[in-house]
A and B are shown apart, each in its own frame.
Chain A
Amino acid sequence: MMDLLNALLVIILVMNLFSLGTSRILSVIRIVAAQGVLLGIIPLLLRERPGFPELVAAAVAIVLKGIVIPGVMTRALRDAQIKKEVTPLIGLLPSIILGALATTLALLFSNSLAMAPSQGGTLIVPAAFATILVGFIILTTRVKAISQAVGYLVLENGIFIFGLLLVDAMPLVVEMGVLLDLFVGIFVIAIIVKHINRAFSSTDTDRLVSLKE
Chain B
Amino acid sequence: MIETAIHILLLALFPPLLLGVINKTKAVFAGRVGPPVLQSYLDIAKLLRKGMVLSSTTTWIFVAGPLVTLSAIAGAGLLIPIGAFPAILAFKGDFLLFAYLFALARFFTTSAALDTGSSFEGMGAAREVTFSVLSEPALFFAFLVLARISSSLSLDSMLRVPALGLAVGTTAPLVLIALGFFVVLLAETCRIPVDDPATHLELTMIHEVMVLDHCGPLFGVILYSAALKLFLLGAFFLHLVAPYSTGNPLIDWPLFAAEMLALCVVIGVVESITARLRMRRVPYLLVSAILLCGSAFILLVR
Contact = CB atoms under 8 A, between A and B. Distances in A.
A123 B295 contact: no
A7 B169 CA distance: 9
Interface string A89-121: 000110011001001100110010000000001
A26 to B, nearest CB: 15
A111 B302 contact: yes
Contacts of A7: 171-172, 175
Q: Which applies to chain A's interface (DSSP): helix, strand, loop or mixed?
A: helix
B287 interface: yes
B288 A21 contact: yes
Interface string A120-151: 01010000000000000000000000000000
Contacts of A3: 166, 168-169, 171-172
Contact of A103 (B168, B173, B288, B295): B295
A104 B292 CA distance: 11
B172 A17 contact: no
Contacts of A21: 284, 288
A74 interface: no
Interface residues of B, number: 20
Given A14-B179, A93-B287, A108 B168 contact: no
B99 interface: no
A92 B284 CA distance: 8
Contacts of A202: none
Interface in B172-215: 172-173, 175-176, 179
B291 interface: yes
B268 interface: no
Contacts, number: 56
A14 B176 contact: yes
B292 to A, nearest CB: 7
Contact of A104 (B171, B179, B288, B298): B298
Nearest to B292: A14
A100 B291 contact: yes
- Interface residue tally on A, bucketed by range: 20 to 34
B176 to A, nearest CB: 6
B172 A97 contact: no
B299 interface: yes
Contacts of A97: 287, 291
Contacts of A4: 171
A13 B292 CA distance: 10
Contacts of B283: 93
A1 to B, nearest CB: 10
B36 to A, nearest CB: 36
A17 B175 contact: no
Given A21-B284, A92-B284, A107-B299, A9 B291 contact: no
A2 interface: yes
Contacts of A123: 172, 299
A2 B175 CA distance: 14
B294 interface: yes
A111 B169 CA distance: 14
A93 B173 CA distance: 23
A134 to B, nearest CB: 13
Contacts of B302: 107-108, 111
Interface in A1-33: 2-4, 6-7, 9-11, 13-14, 17, 21
16 contacts: A4-B171, A6-B171, A7-B171, A7-B172, A9-B172, A10-B172, A14-B176, A17-B288, A17-B291, A17-B292, A96-B291, A97-B287, A100-B294, A107-B295, A107-B302, A108-B298
Interface of A: 2-4, 6-7, 9-11, 13-14, 17, 21, 92-93, 96-97, 100, 103-104, 107-108, 111, 121, 123
